[in-house]
Chains A and B, each alone.
Chain A
Amino acid sequence: MAIDEEATLGCGRRIDQVWANIENPPDVHESSCPDCTDARSRLGRLADATRELRAADLADADLVPRRAVKANIMQIARAEVRRGRRLPLLRGEDAANGALEISEQAIAGVARATADRIPGVHARRCVVTSADDQELATAQPAPEPASISINLRISVSAETQIPATVELLRTKIIDDVAEEIGLVTRKVDVLVEDVHDA
């Protein structure tokens, strides 16, 4: 099968044209062209072998990594877990003064769990920021719960009533964060970024 750099047969047909028609009967040119006939027969055997190799690989129970590989991956991931920023639990306090702090990840976890309990809602990325004005906060005589803003992206199922669901989600997140962590949520921004099949 003589081919040049452009993968073209002697008759001028490109190999990928011949390949594209390999599963069909030869067209008018192919059935009378010796170059194409030869190419079709060789490529046909390759097509069969390729199909077999793909099927054999998929069916081969030995062609998988040992369990230890996943165990190693998860062990390293766990050791390098990202907890995000740390936020004070009480207004105006900081870690330097021995104040209690909570990770962004933990707050996001509460917000996501709240979202997951609402039918049709899948919580995606979540960013939590402090909503306290530091100057004002330090002026407070007695410590108060710190306040935060939450930005949550979600995907909703096709039949979800978006405005009502988003409103419900906001209210529930504010309640759950107050109840489970004791923080005041000043703002919940919900972005519906996708619609998934129910």
Chain B
Amino acid sequence: MPPASPVPDTPVSVGSRLDPDTVVARAQDGDLDAFEQLVDLFQVKLFRLAYRMLNDRGEAEDTVQETMIIAWRRLPSLATPAAFNGWIYQIATRQCLSILRTRVRRNTDVADADTFVERSSPDDGPDRTAEKSAALHRLNAVLATLPDEQRACWVLKELHDLSYQEIANILQIPVSTVRGRIARARPLLAEGMSSWR
């Protein structure tokens, strides 16, 4: 296969060399090119967040779309460009929690995960890759059993590297509550993973 040519998704423009806060500020003024750069910067991150919260590709895509559209509409009122990262995570997290609240609880979730783990478990073979992926599936399966807000705290901290303070702002809860939820999530996850061994 010939080496992939480094063709970017969007044409290289003056705008692509701008610092991130400037890109946000321009999008605030209604600059579509700047907004498109924000979509490029955030759509994958937000999709990963939504997918880990919702376990559903279609709903995760809807969340990304809805989040970016809300951002476009409300950008003019964002106080400072530097606040954009926490702000967009807040919109996305709220979208996820709102979908989860209205979603009809599917009792099959855990059963599905069980089946999946069984299917992907190694047959005593020392296959490192299969072992790893089984551990990941177990972690995912247990993660899905955590209460929604607790899962949000854990995912934002562990998979998106946000600080306790940032997560507290996103969920509008005290920092101590975020700390407590994550501290309690860890033994629950560890316990849940072990029970599948």
A residues neighboring B (CB under 8 Å): 1, 3, 5-7, 14-16, 19, 39, 42-43, 45-46, 48-50, 52-54, 56-57, 63-66, 69-70, 72-74, 76-78, 80-84, 105, 108, 112, 116, 122-126, 153, 155, 194, 196-197
**4 tightest CB-CB pairs across the interface, nearest first?**
A124-B25, A82-B30, A7-B183, A42-B190
Chain B residue with the shortest CB-CB distance to A1? B187
Is B135 a contact partner of A52 (Cβ separation < 8 A)? yes
How far, in Å, is B136 (CB) from chain A's closest CB? 5
User: In residues 1-60 of chain B, which contact A (Cβ within 8 Å)?
Assistant: 14, 18-19, 21-22, 25-26, 28-32, 35-36, 39-40, 43-44, 47-48, 51-52, 60
What is the minimal beta-carbon distance from A155 to any residue of chain B, in angstroms? 5
Mask of B139-164 contacts with A, CB within 8 angstroms, 1/0 = 11000000000000000001100000
Give the total of B residues in contact with A, Cβ under 8 Å. Answer: 52
Alpha-carbon distance A38/B72, docked complex (angstroms): 49
Interface residues, chain B, CB within 8 Å of chain A? Answer: 14, 18-19, 21-22, 25-26, 28-32, 35-36, 39-40, 43-44, 47-48, 51-52, 60-61, 64-65, 68-69, 72-73, 76, 81, 132, 135-136, 138-140, 158-159, 179-180, 182-184, 186-187, 189-191, 193-194
**Chain A residues near B182 (CB, 8 Å)?**
16
Chain B contact residues: helix, strand, loop or mixed:
helix
B136 touches A155 (CB 8 A): no
Q: Which residues of chain B have C-beta atoms less than 8 A from A6's C-beta?
A: 180
**CB pair A45 B64 closer than 8 Å:** no
Pairwise interchain contact B187-A7, C-beta atoms closer than 8 A: yes
Known: A6-B180, A15-B183. A46 touches B189 (CB 8 A): yes
A49–B138 touching, CB < 8 Å: yes
Of B26, B39, B190, which is within 8 A of A45 by CB?
B190
Given contacts A69-B43, A80-B73, contact A50 B183 (CB under 8 A): no
Whether B140 contacts A155 by the Cβ 8 Å rule is: no
> CA separation between A122 and B182, bound complex, in Å?
40
Instruction: Assess A69 versus B61: contact at CB under 8 Å? Given A45-B193, A54-B158, A194-B21.
Output: yes
